[in-house]
Structures are given as C-alpha cells and as structure tokens.
Structure 1
C-alpha cells in the first residue's frame, strides 16, 4: 500500500491558489443583503465542481461548525442554517486559512474569498476535489450561536448503490454529473460535503491507525465478518456504509479501537474529503468506545502426519526493530511453529540505510533466536540476497522472501548455483520433478520483476515426499486510484505488473506439473491482490493452482484491513494433488490486521495437509 502521509500539495482542478493568512474583522452584527448574496448551496451547486470555481465571492454567510488548528489544512467549516430545498446541494463549506483560524464554533461569520477546487494529493491521484473558500477575509458578526443540527447518516440514508459510472466523454470522471444523493452513496456523501453530520452507535471496521483515524460502518449487516469487520468480496461490492473518523480534538483523547469495537452514542462533526480515504467525519464530538472483545486467533496444531506451511509478511523487519519478540511469539504461540514459514519483507542487515548492504543473515538470525527464546524450534533458513536496490520496497532495505524450516520435521534439498540473477529451472530426477537450483529465483531477468521481489523457489522433503514451495511478494497496489476516485470505475494501474508476475509463476508451476503430474506445489505469499482478481485467476490458470482461502466461508476471507474493507492480499495456492486429496486445512490467523497494536499490517496464513 502507498505511503500514508505527504505534505499538502496545492494541486487544483480549476484555479491555482496562493494561501495567505486570513484576515479576521470583528464587527457588530449586520444585516446581510439576502437578495444579492451568494449562499453556500449556490457555491456547492449540484455537481462535484462549484459553478463559482475560480471566482471571487463576497460576504458568504454561515455559522462556524468546526475549527482545524493543526497540520497543513488549517481552517474552519461554515454552514448555512437556512438550507434550500435541493438535497443535492451541500449547505457547508471549508474555509482554508493556512494559519490558525481566529474563529470558534458558533460564530456567525461572513467570508469573502476565492472559490477553489482542491484535489487532496494532487490531480495524479484521481481523487475528487474539495470545494473550498481560499484567501479569505472573515468578518465575525456574533458568537455563541447554535450550531446547525447535524444531519444523521445511517443505514437508511446511505444508498446501497455505490457510485454512477463516470462520463465517458470526460475520461470516466463523475465530476460533471448531477448528484443523485438518493441513488448513489458517493453522491450522498458529496451532497453533505462540509456539513455537520453525525453517526450513532457505529461498529469499528478498521482499527485505529498511527495517524489517529479509524473506520466505522453505519450498515452493521453489510457483508459482516464474524469478528466485526466488513468483507470486500468483489469490485462491485464496495460497502457503502464505511466512513472514516478523525478528530478535531487532542490525539491523546482519540480511542485506541479494534475491529468489532463500537463508538457508542453520537459521533459528530463536519464531513471532509481527504487523500487517505475520501469522505471523513472530522469529529468535534466522539462516541464512547465500547470494546467488542476480539481476541488474537491461534491456529490448530498440525498432527504428526501433517505438514504445516505458513506465509507471514513481517513488514520491513530489520535488526534495529523492537518487534522481534512479538513476531516470535506470533509464530510460536499463534501459528503453532509451522514446519515451513515463508517470510516476506525481510530487510537487509542495516535496514533502510542505503549503503550497498544486501545480506540479511543478521535479520534472520535475530528472528530465529527470538523464536527459540519464545519456546519454538531452532529453525534453519534459506534465501537469496537480491541485487542492491533492484527489488523495490523501502529504499535501501532490499526486502526479500526467506524460508524458515524446522529441521526436526522437514529437510531442505540444497542444489548450488542459485543467486540473484540465475533463473531456477525444472528438470527430472528419478522420474520426478526437481529444481535445477535450490533455493532459486524464478526468471529474475524477466521485466515482470522490474523493481519488484523475485519469487523464491525451494525443494523440501517431508516424510520422504518432495514438496515444492514458491515464496512470492508481488508488486504493490501503489498508484491505483481509490474507491472514492472521481474516475468510476477507478483505474487499477498496478495490476498490469501483477498479471505478468502471475503468468510467470503459473508457467513455472506448469513446468513442474509437466514433469510430475502429482507434484505437491505450494505457492504462497503477499500476492497484493484479491482472491477474485484477475491476478489470482492467472495464477490458477488451467487448474495448475487453486487459492485455498476460497475453502473458507466468505465472511472469513481476509488477511488485511484497508479503509474499512477486510480483504485478501496474502494467499496460499495449492497444486491439484493437494487439492484433490481434500485432506488439507487452511487458516487465516487474525493477529494483526484487526488490531490497533499490530506488529504487521498483514495476517499470516497457515496450510496444513498430508503430502
């Protein structure tokens, strides 16, 4: 997933704006000329782009509903207490001051300024724009007025349909379409942009993150997981009840919530639109956190005759991190010390220091020692150091996949010759498939792996039977347009590379199966794509593999939680011999994604089967 925080970029769809310190004029109350004044609903209009964009407006009247005194988006929201009869026109708007505003909630003000359309993150993101008043001159008419009553957002008010299709003549943009707030959820939220809104007794569907925000749903029965989240199960089921919550108050007062918790009572404040999630309730009143009691899961222990294979993204682990004991406890206590563990995002020995270091033996050894200290086995490990700065990820970190294996349960078949640039091949030994090098990387020179992690293939033996394991970390979703993009449906540009990667891995598995039809092949890792995606279909092509997470009920299919959607990014795919036997168990072990104190943003997966 892309980096979460960058400086505010003043990229505008209509007019370039220079931010200045707002001028605040204190005067006695005065009567506005209602016949000539432009009102907020006139500015907002019935589409996403203001009909006044780029124009100067004078003496726009409203009551201050919220004040943001921090960050690069300082300013305040005003709302007209006398709305018009059109549900498509918002009665609220944000006044961008750049410096700390000198107003308070309840102030009656007039604002003279320029109407601007600000695109959070810049136009390249595809995000919708936020209508603002900029370079403002503010006149405070009176204080202590009643704030306009909050509009209630609930399951009845939010439509089930997510968004209209974008206008093909406008490149797929919805910006110029007339809002239909009773038909589409995104139109409904847009019709409330800048207004005071409230939700009540809402369930948390993404835990509090390091940026002091969480997600709730106003539709508790919408694709619910058994643990309180909301499953993202298709590209046409975006879960309309999701809403991001931030706070105008102190970060110290923001609740540390987990999925399944509830914000009891009323959470209210202006409805904003930002780069990281779109429509966001910026609360000046937060509900009380009621813990749902969700616990970290523990998988079943494998029987003596079962092989347990796991995948676990340890999120940029390097020797300087303080999470080794936590990861070790996760592997020992919650994963039950699997026989083979594919680790993703193992960084080199000095982490993000970009000095040419590529070896990761210190990182892996520190984790193995921590596992032993936690009561687990002394794993052995295999991996291949990448070329410096060629595999993407955090600059200088040189992330890669690594195999851990318990030598008391399984052996590794070493065949020399595998390195960063040598491609592993498939041969035949004694009438069965074998790797030419082990460990080895799949076709590292293929353009599919440019600036991305190369798959690591290894040959293992369990109770006399060979098992091939392919560890993957496909290209990230960075650069994709968000679900609330102005372009509908949003473009998923990152898929192009993952499709090439999936095709390459599928082809390699087919080579194995051509040499040995009943070969046991496990292809696993951070696929960075959904079980219903084209990426997954290409991996499964011609029945060479099958994503085992589909053996779970739909309400349990998730390994990651993003913007209120519990979704699949990590997968374990199995060859026909494993699937046909039917004697396998698959478990997505929820120990991270649903929790505010997560040590990784991914949940590990475990497959148990009898080769």
Structure 2
C-alpha cells in the first residue's frame, strides 16, 4: 500500500469534524465524515476471550471517499469506558494509507483463547480493549489525547472520529450498544456517519477487512495450479543472519526442503519444511513455515517439496519477536517418504547461559550470535527440528495444553524440581515451552506437575508465541512420568500462636460455580489449617465479571465462608469495603477487591465505623496504643497511585489479648511490561512505576502506625506483584522498618509461590515489623502453582505469631 501525495482530510476538516462531535452531544448531525474523510468503521475487544473465535482485538478504519487517505503520523487511541484524570491513553501509531472506498485494519492485543487469526493487518498495536465498553478515537497526531469526556473530546481538533460503545462516557451523541467476546460494533458498508454512535453502529459478529479486501480465513491466496521449479535461493538465504528476512515482502520460488511437521488445526494452519543440506552457518536457520490460513495443506511429513510464496514477518504483538514465514504459497511435491533432517539435541550445553544481549533497546537489527545468547540461539533455529530427552517439567500443564521443561536441570533448582527466578540477571535460559501438533484424540496431552518428566524424546519444530516466546511444537511427545509431587498441609497452629494467611483466590465471584468455592474451602481446611486471620485478594462482586453495576460482595464471601464451614472449618466472619464501580481494575465488571476473613472463636475484629471506598484510614493514639480512624479502612484510596488498581485494606484485630494490625494488598499487575523473550533487551518494566508509588503509600502508613506505637504488631501482606529483590520490596523493607520472613527464614530454593513461563518466583509476600520479626514462623502452602489442577495460580502463605515472646504484653 503506497501513500498518496495528498491527504484529503486536513486540520481544517478535523475542526469541522470536532464541531460535528460537539453538536452531536445534543442531537444527531448530518454525515460529515462520510463526505470528506475517514471514519472508524468497526471495533472489537473480545479477541482471545472465552468463547471468542478471533484471537485478536482490532480496530478497522473506513474511507468513504474516492481518494486514498495518508495515515502517516496519525494514531488510533483507546480510553476505558470511564476514564479518570490519571488514566493512561493507549496509543497505536499508524502508517500507510486507506485506499479509496477501502479499509485499514489495525490488529490489537491477543488473548489466550480463540482459534482464528485476523487477515494480514495494515498496522499493529498492543492495546488490550474491553470486550464490552470503551472508546476508540482516530487522531491526527500521536500525542495522547487529554480529554476524558465527550464534551472535552469534541473540543479537540486533532480528533477525527470517536466511537464509544457499551456505556462509554466518551462518544458521539450517545454510545453504541455494548459488545461481547463474540460481537463487534460496526458501521454499514457505506460508512454512514450521522454523528451518533448508537445510530451508526450495529452489534453483530465481527468482520475484519484489511486494505487488500481480505477477510477472516483468507491467508492471502496464491495460485496452487502452477508447478514450482527449482530456484536460485535456498531456505537459509531467506532466513539470513538476523531476526528478519533480507527478502521480506518479496515473491520467491523454488525453495527446496523436506516437510517435517504439519499444523492441521485452527486458523494458523500450514507446514514446516527444512533443507537437509544447509550452508553450515550457525546463524542461519534451515527451515521455514508455510502459512495456509484455515486450509489444511495437502502435504505429508517426509515429502520433498519445492515451495514458492511471499516472504513475510508475522509479529504476534508489538515488542514480540517476529516469525519469518511464507504466505500466498504454492508448492510442488517432488517425492515422498524421505528421511527427516536430524533434530538438534537441546542438552545442558546447547542453549547459551546468557539470555540476551544487554543492548538497551530493540535487538531486531543485530546480527545473530547463537553461541553467546539464548534468544539468538532460538532465532537461529527458528522452524528447525529440535529435541529434548528425559526433560524435567518445570511448569505444570496449563489450560491450553502447554507445559515447560528445562534443558539445564542444575540451573537455580527449587525444592520441588522447578527453576527459581532469583534476579533480573538470571532469567534461566534453559526453559523451553512444549506444545503439541498431535491429534488430541489419538495422543492426549499429559497432565503434568512440576517435578514430573517427559521421558524419552520430545521433538518438533521451533516456533514462537507471544505467550512464553520460543517453543517446541511437538510431533513426538515423551512419556509422562509422574514425579510424585503431593500437596502437603502446613503444620498446626499452637494455642499460643496467632496464624495469619494471605491468599489470592483468582477472581472469585458470587456467580461462580459451587465447585470453585468447594475446592478453595478444601485448601483452607486440609492444607492451610484454617488460619485465624486471612487476607484475600481477587474477591469479585456478587455477579462475578458481569458488568451490571453490582459492587457488593456479600454473596461471594458468604458462599466462601459457608463452603469452608461445610468442609469442617470454622464459621468465619468477614470484613471488606466495596469499591466504586469499575474503579479498581481487574476484569471489567468484576469490581475486584481485598477482604478479610477471621475466626471469631479465636479473634475479635475491632470495628471502627465510617470506612468506605473513598475515605482514607488514619492512625490515632488510643488507650492500648494505636487505633484506626476507620476499620476496615483503605490507605489513601483517592491517590493517583491507585488509579484502576486495588486499594489496600487495613484491619485491626485482637487475639490472645494482643492487638494485630493487618494490611492486605494487591498491587498493580505486571501487564504492559515488555516480555523477557521480546525484542527489547533488557525489557522495560513499565508497570513497576505505579507499584513503587503504591509501596510508598503503604510504607507511609506503616511508619505512621509505628510512630504512634513502635511495639505494635504490624503485618503487611498480599499479592505485591513484585519480587523479593525488586525496588517495590525495597521501598517497604528499607531501613529495616519491615522484614520479609520468606527471605529471612527460608532457603533460596523455597522462595517462590507462583510459576510463570517456567520460572518459579515470589509475587506474594508477608512482611512484619521489627517487634514481630523475632517471634514469627513462616510457611508457603504449596497447593496450586506447581500443579496442573490448581484452584488458583497463587500459593497461599501462613505466618504464625508466637505470643509468648511478646516484648509488650499490654499491646502484644
């Protein structure tokens, strides 16, 4: 697609469009954009969600004029349904042009589900759009818009078009109806624009169209009728010595090789072929993937083929590595039943120990050094056959039939056979993800736990996914040999101890299945020992993720406490504060929050009325020491550090005549951070800025409490979404104000409670002040993260306070 010499939509016409938007706040206006400029023609935010067919979110632009529109320097921008002053606008810069009477497709973030790829996008971004409600803006420029309401956006002359859907506050006249995981909002084929989103957009099955007119299921075509003759190029010429092909965009012909694997499932079907000869250069891969879309290719493993097609680079999302492939392909089968090229053995010496070059930016254009860096090794073997033998499982089978093994079992081992993530400098280069190309009905994927083994050979081509990076698409799976991992209970709490636990229960809502509550209850009773006090994270409202305005969670907590009692545990009571609707992040409509459970037979809750979603808890002086102005209460809930994030919940408890102050937290997620396996090395951790601000506020509260009563019993805990070696934890523990029993009381191989991409790591923590540090006992209940049948992705932790060694008997 070539840019045109002139652009029909100018700053002046943008001002006209803005005036139309402003008028549209009161009443429908005539179609202006349809007369002289581009519009947003379709928006879809359900990509990869439950029940979705498409893997990606997308925005489609339409050009109703007879002249192409140059998009260089423009952007599409996304705002959530109810943005605030501190809301971060997600910006996708655009390039190229929209053809006359045509479309321009912008692929956005992918979910973990879906089976169907979009047609070849014209632009890509990594915006994670809501499936139900949000606002998309077409902007002449790339600076983030500052408007947060329909009125202020109408005054911004850089905004060419805006579409609000599902109750979004930014819209034209009124928002389009809400969408879902399986529906989009789209204009008609004439790109009708009356200035009223609700009138112009229809909710229906998504139908993305790119500038070439291709739709879902069209891989770009090619003419399979013409025979392919031997050519001048070999596969290694196409792959080159870097991360992208030196022939990208070119039509090539006569590439020779043997078919090594076929993907006959989903919308990314195709086959791998490999040149058995090669050029001997360790930097150049000898294999390619031929993309055939939703069509199963008529080849078989062992076929010798000559292939022609267009060289392309598929990048699953912004910042990911790209996949060199052929599309619009045709091929000739020369012979059948050939031996396959020998696979490369991935033993302890094969993959370099250094993960990636410390480049300070994008490594795409660097020449590969596969003998020095693990990421370069994988890229140099892209699509080639590799194998692992007797591979230890370090990441349990997930819900998408994938698991992780290691080629370096001596690399930072954990107590149960995993691989520990101990620092940013040690991402553990031996980790390998395994998926299967085998028919699940013939060869089911194993349900493996950490510590199991894939005995024998696991073999297949190297591929790449945004979920975990480079992986092996197995054509041969080793035999699953269980390692005997068992859930074991923590020790019993003694009569003189107060037990305090933290547990992320992974989006538990009042409308969830009873089996979810029962499984969690079993963990509380059989493995956690029914702790006296529990801080819960990821409690959702009574309607779970339904975006219906519900914010209360009494049904959720009553069902959980009822299930625990039915399982033989105590009859817990609970405390929580309901957030304002859609202000605390998490799943849209879920209204995630923190909560407390406590056993009234062992603990008394010290209530102080007045706590609500926006009131800040203060520390007061009382007769026994510190008191709270509200209990339960929230720490600085209106501070911008908590924008679209869970607010800490503070509670005052009294047990065994000891006062205990507990703060349960769920800090900002790591979403948005650059991937370990991406092209930016070292990856930027953009999400930690907000966590640092959150940690500073919690630390400020801790300092205020301890200034009033230096001997108070303070526990700060929860899903802090950061590591024991991170700045976030340093802010909390600096100057010795709080200590981390996981670090102080456990061996390095035990310091984890979460497994991500094969790395066993610590995201959840229990911190205590100095008065408690010498009289606590700490355990991780390993019941989830290392098991394929986990009920949460986090392991709970239990802290026990020994009240016999109190230095201050009155306050405890």
Counterpart secondary structure, 1:323 = helix
1:182 corresponds, among 371, 375, 386, to: 371
1:297 CA drift (Å): 2.4
* Conserved 8 A contact 1:12-1:117: no
1:186 CA drift (Å): 1.1
Correspondence for 1:95:
290
Counterpart secondary structure, 2:370 = coil
CA RMSD, Structure 1 to Structure 2 (Å):
1.9
Correspondence for 2:779:
587
Separation in 2 of the partners of 1:589 and 1:363?
23
Separation in 1 of the partners of 2:588 and 2:440?
30
Separation in 2 of the partners of 1:8 and 1:205?
30
1:11 CA drift (Å): 5.4
2:694 corresponds, among 501, 524, 537, to: 501
Separation in 2 of the partners of 1:431 and 1:520?
12
Correspondence for 2:11:
none
1:192 corresponds, among 381, 391, 406, to: 381
Residue by residue over 1:236-276, the C-alpha shift from the partner in whole angstroms, topping out at 9 and shown as x without a partner, is: 00111100000001235110101000000000010001110
Aligned residues: 597
1:424 CA drift (Å): 0.6
1:4 aligns with 2:202: no
1:318 corresponds, among 496, 509, 533, to: 509
1:103 CA drift (Å): 1.1
Separation in 2 of the partners of 1:11 and 1:194?
23
1:164 CA drift (Å): 0.9
1:62 CA drift (Å): 1.1
State which drifts further: 15-24 or 530-539. 15-24
Separation in 1 of the partners of 2:767 and 2:380?
44
1:32 CA drift (Å): 3.0
Counterpart secondary structure, 2:680 = coil
* Conserved 8 A contact 1:13-1:118: no
Separation in 2 of the partners of 1:224 and 1:335?
25
1:187 CA drift (Å): 1.0
Correspondence for 2:631:
438
Correspondence for 1:292:
483
* Conserved 8 A contact 1:12-1:118: no
Q: 1:569 to 1:296 in 2, by over 3 A?
A: same
* Conserved 8 A contact 2:306-2:331: yes
Separation in 2 of the partners of 1:259 and 1:536?
27
Q: 1:151 to 1:25 in 2, by over 3 A?
A: farther
Correspondence for 2:144:
none
1:395 corresponds, among 583, 588, 601, to: 588
Q: Compute the TM-score of the two structures, normalised by the length of structure 1.
A: 0.95
Counterpart secondary structure, 1:528 = coil
Correspondence for 1:45:
240
Correspondence for 1:555:
749
1:578 CA drift (Å): 0.7
Counterpart secondary structure, 2:698 = helix
Counterpart secondary structure, 1:76 = strand
Separation in 2 of the partners of 1:12 and 1:61?
30
Residue by residue over 1:206-256, the C-alpha shift from the partner in whole angstroms, topping out at 9 and shown as x without a partner, is: 000010100000111111111111000000001111000000012351101
Counterpart secondary structure, 2:238 = helix
1:484 CA drift (Å): 0.6
1:368 CA drift (Å): 0.8
State which drifts further: 200-209 or 5-14. 5-14
Correspondence for 1:565:
759
Correspondence for 1:539:
732
Unaligned runs of 5+ residues in structure 1 are none
Correspondence for 1:32:
230
2:496 corresponds, among 305, 308, 312, to: 305
1:26 CA drift (Å): 8.9
Correspondence for 1:275:
466
1:541 CA drift (Å): 2.7
Separation in 2 of the partners of 1:204 and 1:497?
34
State which drifts further: 316-325 or 368-377. 316-325
* Conserved 8 A contact 1:93-1:131: yes
Q: 1:296 to 1:11 in 2, by over 3 A?
A: farther
Counterpart secondary structure, 1:117 = strand
1:2 CA drift (Å): 9.6
Separation in 2 of the partners of 1:223 and 1:332?
32
Correspondence for 1:82:
277
Q: 1:536 to 1:412 in 2, by over 3 A?
A: same
Correspondence for 2:430:
241
* Conserved 8 A contact 1:11-1:118: no
1:113 CA drift (Å): 1.1
* Conserved 8 A contact 1:410-1:462: yes
* Conserved 8 A contact 2:672-2:686: yes
1:20 aligns with 2:220: yes
Residue by residue over 1:422-478, the C-alpha shift from the partner in whole angstroms, topping out at 9 and shown as x without a partner, is: 111111112611111000011110001111100000000111121100010111111
1:337 aligns with 2:537: no
* Conserved 8 A contact 1:193-1:272: yes
Counterpart secondary structure, 1:251 = coil
* Conserved 8 A contact 2:541-2:590: yes
Instruction: Work out which of the two has the higher radius of gyration on C-alpha atoms and give 1 or 2.
Output: 2
Counterpart secondary structure, 2:362 = coil
Separation in 1 of the partners of 2:635 and 2:561?
26
Correspondence for 2:332:
139
Separation in 1 of the partners of 2:624 and 2:449?
53
* Conserved 8 A contact 1:461-1:467: yes
Matches within 5 A, 1:114-133: 114-120=310-316, 122-123=317-318, 126-133=319-326
Residue by residue over 1:552-607, the C-alpha shift from the partner in whole angstroms, topping out at 9 and shown as x without a partner, is: 1110111110111000111111111111xx22111111100001111111100111
1:113 aligns with 2:309: yes
Counterpart secondary structure, 2:681 = coil
Separation in 2 of the partners of 1:303 and 1:278?
46
2:451 corresponds, among 243, 253, 260, to: 260
Separation in 1 of the partners of 2:590 and 2:229?
63
Q: 1:23 to 1:248 in 2, by over 3 A?
A: farther
Counterpart secondary structure, 1:505 = helix
Residue by residue over 1:5-55, the C-alpha shift from the partner in whole angstroms, topping out at 9 and shown as x without a partner, is: 36645458999996224654596xx9835xxx2111111111111111121
1:165 corresponds, among 331, 340, 358, to: 358
1:225 aligns with 2:414: yes
Residue by residue over 1:63-114, the C-alpha shift from the partner in whole angstroms, topping out at 9 and shown as x without a partner, is: 1111111122211111001011111111011111112212111111111111
Separation in 2 of the partners of 1:274 and 1:26?
33
Unaligned runs of 5+ residues in structure 2 are 1-108, 125-209, 804-812
Separation in 2 of the partners of 1:232 and 1:335?
25
1:597 aligns with 2:789: yes
Separation in 2 of the partners of 1:447 and 1:218?
44
Q: Compute the TM-score of the two structures, normalised by the length of structure 2.
A: 0.72
Correspondence for 2:5:
none
Counterpart secondary structure, 1:370 = helix
Separation in 1 of the partners of 2:243 and 2:455?
32
Which gives a bigger RCO, structure 1 or 2 (Cα 8 Å, sep 6+)? 1
Correspondence for 1:486:
679
* Conserved 8 A contact 1:354-1:396: yes
